[in-house]
Amino acid sequence: MCASISRSSGLRAPISRAVSARHSSTKSRASSNRIARSGRTSAGSSHRFSPKATDRSACTANGASSSSPKAHSTSSRCASTREMQLDLTTLRHYLIDTSPWIRDAGIIIEQAGPDGCRLRLPFSERVCNPFGAVHAGALYSFAETAAAAIAVTAFDMSGGRDVLMQQGAIEYHAIARDDLTIDGAVDAETIASVDAAVRDEGRARTTLTLSLRTGDDTNVATATFTVYVRATERPLRSAD
Q: Give dist(CA 33, CA 8) in Å, integer.
A: 13
How far is it, in rounded angstroms, from Cα 3 to Cα 206? Answer: 10
pLDDT confidence of 148, banded at 50, 70, 90? very high
Q: Name the band, by pLDDT with cuts 50, 70 and 90, for residue 81.
A: very low
For residue 240, what are the contacts with CB-CB under 8 A and spacing of at least 6? none
* 67 in any annotated domain: yes
CA angle 167, 204, 72 (to 5 degrees): 55
> Once rounded to an integer, what is the mean pLDDT over residues 123-138?
97
pLDDT > 80? residue 173: yes
Mean pLDDT to the nearest integer, 34-46: 30
Report the CATH number at residue 159: 3.10.129.10
Please give the full DSSP string across 22-36, using - where no structure is assigned. EE---SS-----PPP
Residue 238 lies in a domain: no
Per-residue pLDDT at 114 exceeds 60:
yes
Residue 139 CB: number of other CB atoms within 10 A? Answer: 23
Count CB-CB contacts under 10 A for residue 83.
10
| Average pLDDT rounded to a whole number, residues 216-234 | 92
**Is 164 domain-assigned?**
yes
The answer to whether residue 237 sits within a structural domain is no
Flag whether 204 is in a domain.
no
Q: Write down the pLDDT at residue 94.
A: 82
pLDDT beyond 70 at 183: yes
Predicted confidence at residue 85, as pLDDT, reads 46
Q: What span, in angstroms and rounded, lies between the C-alpha atoms of 154 and 150?
A: 6
Rg (CA), the chain: 17
Position 203 in a domain: no
Our count of domains for the chain comes to: 1
Q: Return the pLDDT at 115.
A: 87
